[in-house]
Homo-oligomer: A and B are copies of this chain.
Amino acid sequence: MRKIQKVVLSSRPDGVLKTDNFQLLEGNCPSIGEGQFLIKNSYLSLDAGFRQWMNEGASDNYLSAMPLGEAVQSIVLGEIVESRHPDYPVGVHVVGRTAWETYSIADGSDLMTIVDVGNGVTEEHHLSVLGPSGMTAYFGLRDIGKAKAGDTVLVSAAAGGVGSLVGQMAKILGCRTIGISSSDKKCKWLTTDLQYDDVINYNSEPGLDKSIKALAPDGVDVYFDNVGGEMLDTVLPHLALKARVVLCGAISQYDDDSHAGVRNMWELITKRARAEGFMFSDYVDDYEDAATVISQWVAEGKLNAPVSLTHGISTTAAAFCDMLTGKNLGKSLVKLF
């Protein structure tokens, strides 16, 4: 009998998410029914946005609160090892939304997509630069941010899974890029490996507000916001006329219900600026075109796809918590097999 290991949400986070909120369980792998297939998961993708749905009562148009005692929902990549579904044969690789588990049963829904591995495209690429993070960076910058050559693009959580790609893509589009991060180490990495033009360590003097003013005296044309809350509030007064704020994530808000609000919304009026939210999954019809463009950038050596790897499903909970506190460089993945 095939064994399955999974990480379940065993308790709701009380403020900051901890590894104690999770539990690793082992059991027998259930058999598949008609129209289903079994995926052997090689990589789990750790995406900050999923933190939101770990809270009690979290619910929106995208997902509902994850049930306690069940495997934590996640984007996952694996290979089909059993199938009773004609469109998903054994041997193909798929990316989809399943869970933190070594094997997943799926039926083709939940964003399940067959992907090709080979010719320079790796499994890791499909969860980083060609996966949700890559699509988020690409469509956020292009369709929401309307980034164009000459724009000043400011990126928060610039060393994270999405931010590490946004800066590079903005450079390819001819923008000037400023990355915000939490340490000198990460800031250095942003300039050496990710071609950021300028960086701001918001934990060091003279602080975020004055640093933005010094680096972008004429204002920020595109703010790619992965953080929300207080950081967004600090950026708003620095927007240029007709600026676009790409609301991608709100990592500052997930742990804390009592967070301060955004007080500078008025700036959007006087700057005639726009703040717009989106989800990469809205662009599913355009993935193939985007993947062609992105693959070309990777092949030409213009775009790095940095990942922070941990190994084995037992590392998942800690890796997720570490990512939320910004310990990763680039996309956080857990390699299972």
Question: A residues touching B (Cβ–Cβ < 8 Å)?
Answer: 52, 60-62, 228-229, 232-233, 241, 247-250, 253, 259-263, 265-279, 282
Is A250 touching B278 in the complex (CB atoms < 8 A)? no
Instruction: Pick the 6 closest A-B CB pairs, nearest first.
Output: A261-B261, A269-B277, A60-B270, A268-B277, A261-B263, A274-B276
Collect the chain B residues with CB atoms within 8 Å of residue A62's CB: 270
Is B262 touching A265 in the complex (CB atoms < 8 A)? yes
Is A263 touching B259 in the complex (CB atoms < 8 A)? yes
Q: A241-B61, A275-B274, A276-B274 are in contact. Are A249 and B261 (CB under 8 A)?
A: no
Q: How far is the CA of A249 from the CA of B265 in the complex (A)?
A: 10
Nearest CB in chain B: distance from A26 CB, A: 34
Is A278 touching B270 in the complex (CB atoms < 8 A)? no
Select which of B233, B261, B263, B269 is within 8 A of A279 by beta carbon: B269
Q: How far is the CA of A248 from the CA of B241 in the complex (A)?
A: 16
Is A271 touching B265 in the complex (CB atoms < 8 A)? no
User: What 12 new A-B contacts, CB under 8 Å, besides A60-B267, A247-B269, A262-B262?
Assistant: A52-B266, A61-B241, A229-B265, A248-B269, A250-B265, A260-B261, A261-B261, A261-B262, A268-B275, A272-B276, A272-B278, A274-B277
Is B277 touching A61 in the complex (CB atoms < 8 A)? no
Is B262 touching A61 in the complex (CB atoms < 8 A)? no
Give 12 CB contacts A-B under 8 Å: A60-B270, A61-B241, A247-B269, A248-B269, A261-B261, A261-B262, A268-B276, A269-B278, A272-B278, A272-B279, A274-B275, A275-B276
Collect the chain B residues with CB atoms within 8 Å of residue A249's CB: 269
Nearest CB in chain B: distance from A36 CB, A: 29
